[in-house]
Structure 1
Amino acid sequence: MDAGSLGALLVVAALAGWVDAVVGGGGLLMLPALLVAGVPVATALGTNKVAAIAGTATAAVTYARRVPVDWVVVGPAAGLAVVTAGVGAALAGVVPASAYRPVVLVVLVLVAVFVVVRPGWGLVARPQRRTRGRVVAAVLVAGVGVAAYDGLIGPGTGTFLVVVFTVVVGADFVRGSAMAKVVNAGTNVGALVVFGVMGHVWWWLGAALAVCNVAGAVVGARMALRRGSGFVRVVLVTVVLVLVARLGFEQWVAG
């Protein structure tokens, strides 16, 4: 890899860390950049996890110092996520993207509609939603459903987790993002172990990207904490729309 390509990847890694720390979706930037640089698909997925785990872990610590994290929810979810994301990573080369892309598209469109119809969603916490049944539901959806998706493909995982924690258990966007980072770190660990065992990780490149990803994550987390839920909501809407556009292009244009 030439110096120009490496430099571009390092810049993208920092931007991806910022996006991931605010609301998730850094893979939207990182994965295409790796593919454009000539990294094979499976190796791009695995190498991205090296950078992503460093960034999400850093963001999780940054948030936890300022925002109380609901460990009753995120603890079990993160534990499940390690295993489920690993299974998803093992199936990454077996399950075709066409099998899950339409489902993800429908979910994203529903999220976009929900955000537009409910402009106050996520701006303030709704603790009355945190019933025992909803806690169990959040753990299963985040630790199994979203984690499996992360192992399979990844982009938008943090966004899905924020949506789960705000909709299901009534967290505001800032706390939901903090909770998402903990679970996302678990999904990254599970997927990285499998990709590493399968030989789909360029460790030297992943380490370099991780340094820049951490820098972006620190800036993003601090900005989200300083600006609050309204700022996170704007970034969330932007990421969801970009995800819809990208997956729609892959489904109907790129083929």
Structure 2
Amino acid sequence: MDIAQWIVLIIGATAAGWVDAVIGGGGLVLIPLILSVVPGFSYATAAATNKMAAVSGTASATWALARKVPLDKRFACQLVPLALLCSAGGALVAAQINKDIMRPVVIVLLLFSGTFVALRPQFGQQRQDNQEKHSTLRRVAILGVVALIAMYDGVFGPGTGMFLIMSFSAIIAKDFMQSAVLAKIVNTSTNLGALAVFIAGGYVMWKLGVVLALANIAGAQLGARTVLGGGTKLLRRALLVLVVVMSAYLAWQQYVAMR
């Protein structure tokens, strides 16, 4: 690659890190960019290299946010192995899943979630402290939902962060800020699980991956500061924007696939 290609990809990875830290969806920026700048790469190679950058950036943002946002760290630690294993399992069966069938389902779920948030302005704006010690039923429910979303992330991926934020806010009554931190902890784990499968398959371009990871970390740190400054109101707006952008992107992919 020449210097211009490197510069474009570094800028893209930085932007993707910021997007991932704020609400998620950085892969929508970086994967298409890698494929367009380096057309010789297969989709698996681009996705694997993106995962390497995303793991680094998301972990960096998680660390920055977790130090500032009150969190049940014991509960958060329970989510890590569950998410990692389920994501790896999803990545292993991803080749057998028909993405053209999944896209319309995900679009409907995204639009439903966005409509719900738009019609419920107070949703995710305040946490209920009396829910800190979760009931057994709520704990089992959220662990089950996290397992399903982590497997989905390994298989397909778009909207994972948003689905996690919605689930934490709805099931265990977290505000968007706490939900976002928990979502990033889970997302880091799911990315690691999927990355392990990509590494085993020999898909990661290590030199490019390391450079993009450093750029992604820089963007993630800027994104974490944006989140801490904007609070739950910013996250609500970002979530609604993500719903529109991701739904449009998936609808376009579906249209292209059906032509």
Q: What TM-score, normalized by structure 1, do the two folds share?
A: 0.94
Paired amino acid for 1:27: G
Determine the structure 2 residue equivalent to 1:99. Answer: 101
| The structure with more radius of gyration | 2
**5+ residue gaps in structure 1?**
none
Paired amino acid for 1:134: R
Determine the structure 2 residue equivalent to 1:156. Answer: 159
Distance in 2 of aligned mates of 1:161 and 1:12: 25
Q: CA deviation at 1:194?
A: 0.6
Determine the structure 2 residue equivalent to 1:138. Answer: 142
Paired amino acid for 1:145: L
Per-residue CA deviations over 1:159-199 (Å, capped at 9, x if unaligned) read 22112111221111111111111111110111111100011
Per-residue CA deviations over 1:88-109 (Å, capped at 9, x if unaligned) read 2122223221232222112101
Distance in 1 of aligned mates of 2:206 and 2:17: 18
Determine the structure 1 residue equivalent to 2:11. Answer: 11
Q: CA RMSD in A?
A: 1.6
Distance in 1 of aligned mates of 2:194 and 2:36: 22
Name the count of aligned residue pairs: 254
Q: Is structure 2 residue 259 aligned with structure 1 residue 240? A: no
SS in 1 for 2:172: coil
Paired amino acid for 2:187: N
Determine the structure 1 residue equivalent to 2:21. Answer: 21
Per-residue CA deviations over 1:97-124 (Å, capped at 9, x if unaligned) read 1232222112101101101110111111
Determine the structure 2 residue equivalent to 1:203. Answer: 206
Paired amino acid for 2:57: G
Q: What TM-score, normalized by structure 2, do the two folds share?
A: 0.92
**5+ residue gaps in structure 2?**
none
SS in 2 for 1:25: coil
Distance in 1 of aligned mates of 2:137 and 2:25: 28
SS in 2 for 1:228: helix
Identity of matched residues, %:
41
Distance in 1 of aligned mates of 2:193 and 2:51: 10
Contact map agreement 2:110 2:159 (CA 8 A) in 1:
no
